[in-house]
Amino acid sequence: MNYKVIFLFILSITFLFKIFLNCLRIESTKRLTPRNLTDVYDEITYKKWKTYKAESIRLAFFEDVFSFLPLLLMVIFDFYSYISHLFNENIPLLILFTISIYILVDEIIRIPFAAYKDFHIEAKYGFNRTTVKTFVKDSFINLLLNFTISLLPIYFYYYIKIVLGNWVVLVLIVTLIIIMMLFNFLFPYFAKIFNKFTPLKDGELKTKLIALGEKCGYAFSNIYVIDASKRSTKDNAYFSGFGKTKRIVIYDTLLEKYSVDEIVAIFAHELGHAIHKDTLKSLPNLIIFSIFAIIGFYLLTEYSLIYTSFGFDSVNYGFAFIIFSGCFELINLIYGILINAISRKHEYAADKNAVILGYGDELIASLKKLAKNSFSYLSINPILQFVVGSHPTLEERINNIEKEEANLATKNQD
């Protein structure tokens, strides 16, 4: 069996699938605006939205092409097997060199596209606030994290396998579960690497947020404002952490553009995720998926015949990572369809929580503002929504909120 042909087929299918999704995104910019969303954009802003989306999608298309071609050519011409002969039996050094080339090629391609998007497209349409200094700092941190996240697990796997043999799978699974749990608890601290968090000042907003949390059985000592405006004008808020790390995080852009009740409505939605324990509910699926990924990588390192198709004499751990990454991207796209379907249900439930707390109308107003300020799709191709939609469409969310309000009003009358 020619495993190189199979791998090239997987890479090509993934590439074509991404191109197909971008075509659907272009089609979505030409769809008619739903009746209940005609007040989101005025005519001038709507034209601006269309050109912004078109430019962003075209850039994404070229980035996909330029990211795909180097890997395709290096695999076809056995580039990685060629350099492997330079290191003889020094496996740790070969792992470092192989993965470093893979990461650096990807980063060299990604950074110019990211810079063009931030400093040309995003700036052109009034979104970008990232300085060159911040961009360089973020790029360096991302590169460092990429190296760390890629190299450490491979070295850990390699050395543990030498000591424990096939027990490496169990060790990796247990280690991964511990890391995932720790990451969820410690995410608020990791987030400080990229942003500054400032306690929200005393006032009407803080009072209402604390009161709403207490009403739902949550005591928050930490409500922070994140300096998101140093990178973008786009708005967001989120609820994160567990136990003593629980916190409300509000983008400073929200404070600039939204009323107190609109921000509280967004928080009421986010609080719904906390009440329903959506983050914890998603962990088992993620853990199961990760276990299969670990088993898949283990199998990749067990069969030397796979590597002879690529010009290697034996198993190559660095190239195993490249094969795994290429296959994982396609699997993740398919797996994402299931996860997004679950996520959409969670979003409906969180919206309902805002209605129950009396902020349905304010949530609708804030959702329209969020869509306008983020240049979101008002009408999206159903296939694209099915594949990548982690949230229901804005039209669906507003219809559902109005339905929940009507049901609540009827229930109160009874």
Tokens 């994404």 belong to: 60
| CA separation, residue 50 to residues 18, 41, 115, 125, 379 (Å) | 20, 11, 21, 11, 12
pLDDT of residue 222: 72
The per-residue pLDDT for range 214-230, each reduced to its tens digit, is: 888 877 667 888 876 66
pLDDT of residue 250: 82
CA distance 298 to 164: 13
The per-residue pLDDT for range 281-331, each reduced to its tens digit, is: 887 888 888 888 899 999 999 888 899 999 888 888 999 999 999 999 999
Q: Are 80 and 20 in contact (CB under 8 A)?
A: no
CB atoms within 10 A of CB 357: 19
pLDDT of residue 192: 65
The separation between the first and the last C-alpha atoms of the chain, rounded to the nearest angstrom, is 69
Identify the CA nearest to 353 among candidates 232, 268, 278, 264: 268
pLDDT of residue 198: 83
pLDDT of residue 408: 86
Average pLDDT of each block of 10 consecutive residues along the chain (414 residues)?
Answer: 91 95 92 88 84 90 93 92 80 90 92 92 84 88 89 91 89 84 67 74 88 81 74 65 63 84 91 83 83 90 89 89 92 92 94 94 93 85 94 94 90 74
pLDDT of residue 190: 65
3 state DSSP class of 239: strand
